[in-house]
Structure 1
Amino acid sequence: MPTSMPAPSIRIPIELLTPPAFHQFGTVIENPATSPSAKLPIPHRVPPPDSVTANQGFATKYLDVTHMSNLYTLAPSKKPAKAVMNMFVCKPRELRPHEASMSLPSSWGDLDIDDDEDENGNYERQLLDIGILERHPFTTQTFIPMGLAQQDKSTQYLVIVAPTLPASASRRYSNRPPPYPTPKIERKKSFRDIFARARPSPFTNEATPPPSLFSRLHPSARPKGPGIPDLKNLRAFVATGSQAVTYGAGTWHAPMIVIGDRPIDFVVVQFANEVGIEDCQEIILKPDSTAPEGVVVMVDTDSSGQVQVKTGVASVKAKL
């Protein structure tokens, strides 16, 4: 049975998926010459990856566009993992009608986001309830959409992520310890082993991981720690068909969410060792009995069905 935690009554606006905005959660894979990020003001762009000419001059090869991590050597079972590639066929989600609420839109504060009309007066707001988050503590996970054009306005997908709270907050906000598996420390008799056990554990947020273990990893691929998700700072991004996304190891995220009129096929690349609690952990979000609702993402669409960006860089009238 997955762990559960109380969820605040809160509404989240949608942002544009860009590498800088997503940096703490993972990496965005996109063509730097034609991506939505290329249209942003210069201060909000990031340098493109290094590139070389390939295929006898008929291709440009961008190097290290994402960073994969296999951290299963830290898993309690010590069972080795292998690289796996699966396909998820994700159906469009059913949304519920918009209802007025006093909820604030997450860490963005009290924003004026009630302008629900486009140039034709056809903006429509619907609501998406977020009832569960998951994470993969020892592996990155890359989602690659297939058959979805960048210009497709009627079908898009959302990337919903949350930061990780310190481990000490798990018992405060939940009646159970964190689901993140922590290694068992065997008692040793020698003084050398006793002093060795005093080194910081890589599974706590209260101490810096040993640099020899994580120094080679890109910051986006390093584990996030054992804590529960920080729901008040949950973020929601809308992606186009020209973008893939890699979740960093241990990043709390919602299952992939398709918005529109048809399914999207995703090829998913990760590591796995077939030990359930080490491959995937879930936490159920339960609204308080007195709360009118729980965690909700506001989905605004125009007359063509295109999801609108309401917060952050390129907000309100952004065209993807």
Structure 2
Amino acid sequence: MPTSMPSPSIRIPVELLTQSSFSQFGTVIENPAHSNAPLSQRLPPPAAVSANQGTAIKFIDVTHMLNIYSLAPSKKPARAVMNMFVCAPRDLRPHEPSSSMPSSWGDIDLDDDDDDDGNSDRELFDVPVLERHPFTTQTFVPMGLSQSDRHTQYLVIVAPTLPASASRRHTDRPPPYPTPEIRKERSIKDIFARARPSPFTNEAAPPPSQFSRLNPSQRPKGPGLPDLKNMRAFVATGNQAVTYGAGTWHAPMAVIGDRPIDFVVVQFANGVSIEDCQEIILKPDPKADEGMVVMVDSDSSGKVLVKAGVGSVKAKL
């Protein structure tokens, strides 16, 4: 039975999916020449070389697959797996006034009378569950979706991780992702080690963590619950794939539009269910109208409008 946690009532606007805005959570994989990010927000493109007898450009190391199952309690090794998810469009409910708080990422006016001069339509997507894969990255690659497709897109919904101490207060039980206990050595060497980090060398500082050289999005997130007050939602086009960093809380893929999207999903797995994937059920207050909600604004053609963050200014994607 998945762990549950109380959910506040918050309405979240949609942001443009760019590597800069998503860097806390993982990697956006796209051809730099087709990026929708404003020039001022674009990161340096990955290294590129000529390939296939000069008929192709090879972008090198566009995302980093991470396997940290060595930290899993079972110590069972993982293998690379590739699955396919055929994701049907989600049902959205009509927009209606609410006493929900605006997201801290919004910077927009949530006045119900503000409807972009009647040229846009707002619907609501309820987020009832989040999941994460604590010991592996997970990459979603859409298939058969055009960059210019206005009628079908997908949402990428993510949340930071709370400290473990705060997580325990939320549920009155340990966080859902167990971490291996560090066995304390009681040897003479260990006793002397407390006096100086490296008693048998001239080093004055302990060696750096094996994860210190990794980008923050790639480092283990810890066993804490999701930080719902800082949940964010991004809209992706057909030329964008996304890698969730190991342990990143995210909603199951949410397709918006007229037809399903096929995703090829690449990750590591060891077959231990609690280590491969854990879920958290979001339970709003019984007296509240709603819990965590993403506001999906679209134009007359069905294209999702960006309402927050980079390139918003109520501009079309």
- Count how many residue pairs are aligned between Structure 1 and Structure 2: 306
State the SS of the aligned residue for 1:70. Answer: coil
Write the deviation string for residues 247-279 of structure 1: whole angstroms up to 9, x where unpaired. Answer: 000000000000001000000000000000100
Indicate if the aligned counterparts of 1:67 and 1:218 stay in contact, CA closer than 8 A.
no
* Alpha-carbon distance in 2 for matches of 1:278, 1:210: 28
User: TM-score, normalized by length of structure 1?
Assistant: 0.90
- 1:88 corresponds to: 85
Q: 1:25 to 1:56 in 2, by over 3 A?
A: same
- 1:116 corresponds to: 115
- 2:235 corresponds to: 238
Q: 1:210 to 1:149 in 2, by over 3 A?
A: farther
Q: Aligned runs of 1:268-307 on 2, under 5 Å?
A: 268-307=265-304
- 2:130 corresponds to: 133
Write the deviation string for residues 156-214 of structure 1: whole angstroms up to 9, x where unpaired. Answer: 0000000011111011111221011111344654243577799xxxxxxxxxx973421
* Alpha-carbon distance in 2 for matches of 1:310, 1:300: 8
State the SS of the aligned residue for 1:278. Answer: helix
Q: 1:285 to 1:144 in 2, by over 3 A?
A: same
CA shift at 1:44, angstroms?
1.4
CA shift at 1:109, angstroms?
5.7
* Alpha-carbon distance in 1 for matches of 2:192, 2:232: 41
- 1:204 corresponds to: none
* Alpha-carbon distance in 2 for matches of 1:36, 1:161: 20
State the SS of the aligned residue for 1:296. Answer: strand
Indicate if the aligned counterparts of 1:113 and 1:310 stay in contact, CA closer than 8 A.
no
Indicate if the aligned counterparts of 1:69 and 1:217 stay in contact, CA closer than 8 A.
no
Q: Aligned runs of 1:1-320 on 2, under 5 Å?
A: 1-37=1-37, 40=38, 42-108=39-105, 111-114=108-111, 115-117=114-116, 121-186=118-183, 188-192=185-189, 211-320=208-317
Write the deviation string for residues 216-247 of structure 1: whole angstroms up to 9, x where unpaired. Answer: 43332111111110000000000000000000
CA shift at 1:17, angstroms?
0.2
CA shift at 1:151, angstroms?
0.3
CA-based RMSD: 2.1
State the SS of the aligned residue for 2:53. Answer: helix
Write the deviation string for residues 76-123 of structure 1: whole angstroms up to 9, x where unpaired. Answer: 1010000000000000000111111132221136631443236xx331
Write the deviation string for residues 97-152 of structure 1: whole angstroms up to 9, x where unpaired. Answer: 1111132221136631443236xx33111111100000000000000000000000
* Alpha-carbon distance in 1 for matches of 2:92, 2:256: 9
- 2:200 corresponds to: none
Q: What runs of 5+ residues in structure 1 fail to find an aligned partner?
A: 199-208
- 1:202 corresponds to: none
* Alpha-carbon distance in 2 for matches of 1:64, 1:139: 17
Quick one: which amino acid aligns to residue 117 of structure 1? Answer: D
State the SS of the aligned residue for 2:70. Answer: helix
Q: 1:68 to 1:195 in 2, by over 3 A?
A: farther
* Alpha-carbon distance in 2 for matches of 1:113, 1:186: 51
User: TM-score, normalized by length of structure 2?
Assistant: 0.91
Q: Matched residues, percent identical?
A: 76
* Alpha-carbon distance in 1 for matches of 2:35, 2:106: 28
Q: 1:123 to 1:319 in 2, by over 3 A?
A: closer
Write the deviation string for residues 43-94 of structure 1: whole angstroms up to 9, x where unpaired. Answer: 2121111111111111111111111100001111010000000000000000
Indicate if the aligned counterparts of 1:224 and 1:250 stay in contact, CA closer than 8 A.
yes
Indicate if the aligned counterparts of 2:105 and 2:232 stay in contact, CA closer than 8 A.
no
* Alpha-carbon distance in 1 for matches of 2:58, 2:26: 21
* Alpha-carbon distance in 2 for matches of 1:185, 1:156: 44
Quick one: which amino acid aligns to residue 7 of structure 1? Answer: S
CA shift at 1:291, angstroms?
1.8
Indicate if the aligned counterparts of 1:308 and 1:316 stay in contact, CA closer than 8 A.
no
